[in-house]
Structure 1
Amino acid sequence: MEQYGKILLIAMPAFLALVLFEKWWGWRKGKDTVRPMDMISSLSSGITNSTKDVLGLSIAIITYGWLVDHVAIVHVRSTVWVYIIAFFALDLAGYLTHRIDHEINFFWNSHIIHHSSEDFNLACALRQNISIFIRVFTVFLLPAALLGVPSQVIAVVAPLHLFAQFWYHTEHIGRMGFLEKIIVTPSHHRVHHAINKEYLDKNYGQIFIFWDKWFGTFQEELPGVKPVYGITRPVQTWNPIKINFQHMALMMKDAWRTRSVKDKLRVWFMPTGWRPEDVAEKYPVYKIEDVYAFDKYETKTSTALLTCVWIQISILLLFVSYFFGHVAQIKAPGIFFYGAFVFLYVYSFTELMDGNSYAWVWEMLKAVFGIGLILYNGDWFGTNQYSPLINFVLIGYFVLSFVSFLYFSFWEERDLSTQPV
């Protein structure tokens, strides 16, 4: 956890800089693909995902170390070739896992967050799940385990493999010549994120595109078919925590409501989107039928509200940076209280972004929780080593933030209610 936190301290500002650069580039070129609220929602999703990872809130039924110990035929030495083998093995495992996420109802819940943005940009690459608590597909690393690739090598290569999937989430890079035949390019991934019938559930590759070509899931970007992004059952919220569990909630309701015992079991393992016939008829769910005739999710936004939200995400990044840099010092159970605070923070201000009238209640809970942590610990998780004044600054922030939420919930909301979306 400590080592991963240090990696994220380097990765986070780099990703943020690239996201903001893409926003500037789009503005400069007259093709802005980044809506502010959508971008902030994506950033907040990345924060919840990385916080969950640092906390280690998931377990593997079969660990890679166990596989190596029990199935290795040989044990390759740690040379450059071992790292190359590990990279290919991770990519094949990524393709298979990605495909299952798309094609089986239960597993789609863990991936829906990544496709929930109705834009396609670098920020949406940061939309990653917090809903996986049990990892079941370590077995897909069997090729590496058979060769005895050490666990330490997988641990080094895995973050690099993940970060290498960031760059191709953009509309600003066109076709890339011969590279289109080898690696996943922005063109390939635009197809993957599209909900056009020509593109749906294609191009599952993460780094190499030849897996899709070999296994029959490849689709090139067609000149006359502009990709339309999102999911066919729109999430209709900026709140990444809600998005992470929307599909699961629907499946649970469907399993409860259907009269068929068989369907109560089938709903989890049928193709993504399948619902029992009796439930679908009685409890219909909106689904986009014409991808060229639907409105993207948007909320009423004033300059003051947008400024407030930018301030909130900026301060959250400071909180998270401190957390990632001091995980070893904070230790358990403090890290879990800190993680809970981060999640409450995200839930609160994304509810404000959605225009929910009770967002101030969540902000009040955040303020009480934050101030309570300071009073209980005597400072903010060791900040007295830098300056005792930090405690007063943070308490002042909590109070002012709560007051601002009251303003947007009870005063500016009335002004905005007369404005068109």
Structure 2
Amino acid sequence: MDFDVGLLLLLLTPVYFITIAAELYWLRKHPGKYTSAHYSWRDFFSNASLGIFYQASEKLTGVFVLAIYYSLFDFRLFDIPATAWSLALLFLLQDFLYYWFHRASHNIRWMWASHVAHHSSQRLNFSTAFRQSLTYPISGMWLFWVPLVMLGFPPETVVMVVLLNLFYQFFIHSQLVPKLGWFEWAFNTPRHHRVHHAHNADYIDKNFGGILIIWDRLFGTFVEEKETEACRYGIPRQVNTYNPVTLTFHEWRDMFRDAFAPGKTLGQRFRHLFGYPDWQPDTPGKQ
């Protein structure tokens, strides 16, 4: 498939900003509603800066990642023809793997060091979707799509489906969208994703789905948004800064400080890098 990833990103950009403008207009007309959704210039600047850094990182590393994918494609198990059915299968498999990437990003500190930037805002609106990390190539997001290439899906088609998945997810970063009825049983929605971004005790590490929410239902990580409990956004160890550089690297700094502190065993150092993000030798919790 002859596919220009850069052209897709260029074509989608106006959609993002039109959607943000519409949300901003509605919020300004209703100043007393959804206070944690309201835009601030500093928060928007952080989101936009992190998004630009992320895109630059993807551009710089994308050539190398595609080269790896094409090298592995030579050892593919099948020659999968380009049909509507094979594309539908690719969408399903990629979304399944996205669930596990996302779940791993909350349970492995090495990956959380990248993903934490996305959760660090105490606001939630469409611009929050831009709040990404330039370190995703280091933490290994691209590794999760390797099985698709090895199966026999062309690398550029895999990248296209990943981008379309992320495009859909832009629209679930909103507090303005109410329940969507039957659609919510199978698909990820703003209501489900609000839970994911909240750090309420019952909401942490829940609702990891990309486009589909069925994986959370199948693997026990689904939680409904409670009408009686407002979502509190941000991270448990909140970083009170709008500096995009600090937001990008603070968890990497803390992780390496913990891992290479004196007096630790080799096993403890490994856990600091690849265990649950909050793990410490002297505190109970997830291992």
Q: Tell me the TM-score normalized by structure 1.
A: 0.61
Aligned length: 276
Q: Is the 8 A contact 2:114 2:133 kept in 1?
A: yes
Residue 382 of structure 1 aligns with which residue?
Answer: none
Residue 30 of structure 2 aligns with which residue?
Answer: 29
Q: Deviation per CA, 1:339-397, whole angstroms, max 9, x where unpaired? A: xxxxxxxxxxxxxxxxxxxxxxxxxxxxxxxxxxxxxxxxxxxxxxxxxxxxxxxxxxx
Residue 202 of structure 1 aligns with which residue?
Answer: 206
Q: Is the 8 A contact 1:62 1:138 kept in 2?
A: no
* Alignment map for 1:40-51 (pairs within 5 Å): 40-51=45-56
Higher relative contact order (CA 8 A, sep 6+): 2
Q: Deviation per CA, 1:274-294, whole angstroms, max 9, x where unpaired? A: 2343xx8xxxxxxxxxxxxxx
Give, in angstroms, the shift of residue 138 of structure 1.
4.8
In terms of Rg, which structure is larger?
1
Match of 1:91 among 89, 95, 110: 95
Q: Deviation per CA, 1:139-160, whole angstroms, max 9, x where unpaired? A: 5446634652222321332221
The 3-state SS of whatever aligns with 1:257 is coil
| Aligned-pair identity (%) | 33
Q: Is the 8 A contact 1:62 1:136 kept in 2?
A: no
Match of 1:152 among 152, 156, 165: 156
| Residue 55 (1) aligns with residue 56 (2) | no
Q: Which amino acid in 1 is paired with 2:57? A: K
CA 1:260 to 1:156, structure 2 compared with 1: closer, same or farther past 3 Å? closer
Q: Is the 8 A contact 1:104 1:271 kept in 2?
A: yes
The 3-state SS of whatever aligns with 1:134 is helix
Residue 247 of structure 1 aligns with which residue?
Answer: 251
Residue 301 of structure 1 aligns with which residue?
Answer: none
| Residue 181 (1) aligns with residue 185 (2) | yes
Q: Distance in 2 between matches of 1:261 and 1:10?
A: 51
Residue 17 of structure 1 aligns with which residue?
Answer: 18
Q: Which amino acid in 2 is paired with 1:217? A: T
Match of 1:132 among 132, 136, 148: 136
| Residue 117 (1) aligns with residue 106 (2) | no
The 3-state SS of whatever aligns with 2:133 is coil
Q: Is the 8 A contact 1:91 1:207 kept in 2?
A: yes
Q: Distance in 2 between matches of 1:254 and 1:135?
A: 17
* Alignment map for 1:1-400 (pairs within 5 Å): 3-30=4-31, 31=33, 33-36=37-40, 37-56=42-61, 59-60=64-65, 63-72=68-77, 74-134=78-138, 136=140, 138=142, 140-141=144-145, 144-145=148-149, 147-262=151-266, 263-277=268-282
Give, in angstroms, the shift of residue 119 of structure 1.
0.8
Two-structure CA RMSD over aligned residues (Å): 2.4
Q: Deviation per CA, 1:64-107, whole angstroms, max 9, x where unpaired? A: 434443241x3221111122111112111111111111001111
Give, in angstroms, the shift of residue 62 of structure 1.
9.4
Q: Tell me the TM-score normalized by structure 2.
A: 0.87
Q: Which amino acid in 2 is paired with 1:107? A: M
Q: Which amino acid in 2 is paired with 1:219? A: V
Gap regions ≥5 residues in structure 2: none
Give, in angstroms, the shift of residue 43 of structure 1.
1.4
Give, in angstroms, the shift of residue 271 of structure 1.
0.8
Q: Deviation per CA, 1:161-191, whole angstroms, max 9, x where unpaired? A: 2111100100000111001111001110000
CA 1:51 to 1:137, structure 2 compared with 1: closer, same or farther past 3 Å? closer
CA 1:55 to 1:63, structure 2 compared with 1: closer, same or farther past 3 Å? closer
Q: Distance in 1 between matches of 2:182 and 2:241?
A: 39
Give, in angstroms, the shift of residue 204 of structure 1.
0.4
Q: Is the 8 A contact 1:58 1:133 kept in 2?
A: no
Q: Distance in 2 between matches of 1:49 and 1:117?
A: 16
The 3-state SS of whatever aligns with 1:109 is helix
Residue 360 of structure 1 aligns with which residue?
Answer: none
Q: Distance in 2 between matches of 1:140 and 1:44?
A: 26
Q: Is the 8 A contact 2:5 2:160 kept in 1?
A: no
Q: Which amino acid in 2 is paired with 1:271? A: Y
Q: Which amino acid in 1 is paired with 2:274? A: F
